[in-house]
Structure 1
Amino acid sequence: MPEIQRVLPKYMQIANYVRDQILRGDLTPGDEVPSERQISAEWTVARPTAARALEALRQQGFVESRQGSGTFVRDRMRPNRLARERYSRARDTGKIYPANERATILAADYDAAPDDVAAALGIDAGAQVIRRQRLIHADDEPVELSTAWYAGSLGEQAPNLLIRERIRAGTTAYVEKTTGRRIRYARDEMSSRLAAAAEREHLRLPEPSAVLLVRHVVYDGEDRPLEFTEAVYPPGRWAFETTYPVA
Structure 2
Amino acid sequence: MASESVGYLAIADHYRRLIADRQIADGQRLPSVRKIADQWHVATKTAQRALQVLRMEGFASPVTGLGYAASFRPHESAVLRVKVNGTRQRGEQYAEGDEALILSAEVTPTTGPAGDVLGVEPGSPGILRTGMVKRGDKVIRMSHSWFPVELADLVPELLTVESTAPGNVARIEAATGRHTVVTADHFTVDLLGLQLAQSFGVPQGEPILARTTVRHDGLGVIEYGTTWFPRHVVLAVEYTDAADHAN
TM-score category, normalised to shorter length: 0.5 to 0.7
Distance in 2 between the 1:98 and 1:223 partners?
Answer: 36
- RMSD of the alignment, in Å? 2.5
| 1:211 and 2:205 correspond | no
CA shift for structure 1 position 243: 6.6
Structure 2 counterpart of 1:198, from 184, 195, 202: 195
| 1:172 and 2:169 correspond | yes
Distance in 1 between the 2:88 and 2:137 partners?
Answer: 23
Match of 2:222 in 1: 226
CA shift for structure 1 position 97: 4.4
Structure 2 spans left out of the alignment, 5+ residues: 1-86, 242-247
CA shift for structure 1 position 237: 2.2
| Larger relative helix fraction | 1
**Counterpart AA for 1:190:** F
Distance in 1 between the 2:95 and 2:232 partners?
Answer: 20
Distance in 2 between the 1:178 and 1:218 partners?
Answer: 16
Superposed counterparts of 1:23-172, under 5 Å: 84-86=88-90, 97-172=94-169
Alpha-carbon deviations, 1:67-116, whole Å to 9, x = none? Answer: xxxxxxxxxxxxxxxx94545x8xxxxxx644232211111001111241
Distance in 2 between the 1:170 and 1:240 partners?
Answer: 21
Please identify, of 138-147 and 124-133, the stretch whose mean Cα deviation from structure 2 is larger.
138-147
Query: CA, structure 1 residues 129+142, in 2 after alignment: closer, same or farther (shift >3 Å)?
Result: same
**Counterpart AA for 1:226:** I
- Partner SS, residue 120 of structure 1: helix
Identity between Structure 1 and Structure 2 (%): 22
Distance in 1 between the 2:147 and 2:239 partners?
Answer: 32
Q: How many equivalent pairs are there? A: 155
Structure 1 spans left out of the alignment, 5+ residues: 1-82, 90-95
- Please tell me whether the aligned partners of residues 167 and 174 of structure 1 are also in contact (alpha carbons under 8 angstroms): no
Alpha-carbon deviations, 1:11-44, whole Å to 9, x = none? Answer: xxxxxxxxxxxxxxxxxxxxxxxxxxxxxxxxxx
CA shift for structure 1 position 177: 1.8
Match of 2:235 in 1: 239
**Counterpart AA for 1:178:** A
Alpha-carbon deviations, 1:109-146, whole Å to 9, x = none? Answer: 01111241112222211111000000012344311100
- Please tell me whether the aligned partners of residues 120 and 225 of structure 1 are also in contact (alpha carbons under 8 angstroms): yes
Alpha-carbon deviations, 1:182-226, whole Å to 9, x = none? Answer: 122200001121212221122111233121111000011x34211
**Counterpart AA for 1:237:** V
Distance in 2 between the 1:85 and 1:237 partners?
Answer: 19
Q: Which structure is richer in relative contact order (CA contacts within 8 A, separation 6 or more)?
A: 1
Distance in 2 between the 1:174 and 1:121 partners?
Answer: 18
Kindly name which structure, 1 or 2, has the bigger radius of gyration based on alpha carbons: 1
- Please tell me whether the aligned partners of residues 193 and 204 of structure 2 are also in contact (alpha carbons under 8 angstroms): no
- Please tell me whether the aligned partners of residues 211 and 228 of structure 2 are also in contact (alpha carbons under 8 angstroms): yes
| 1:189 and 2:183 correspond | no
CA shift for structure 1 position 238: 3.0
Query: Normalized against structure 1, the TM-score is what?
Result: 0.56
Please identify, of 169-178 and 144-153, the stretch whose mean Cα deviation from structure 2 is larger.
169-178
- Please tell me whether the aligned partners of residues 169 and 222 of structure 2 are also in contact (alpha carbons under 8 angstroms): no
Distance in 1 between the 2:102 and 2:240 partners?
Answer: 36
- Partner SS, residue 114 of structure 1: coil
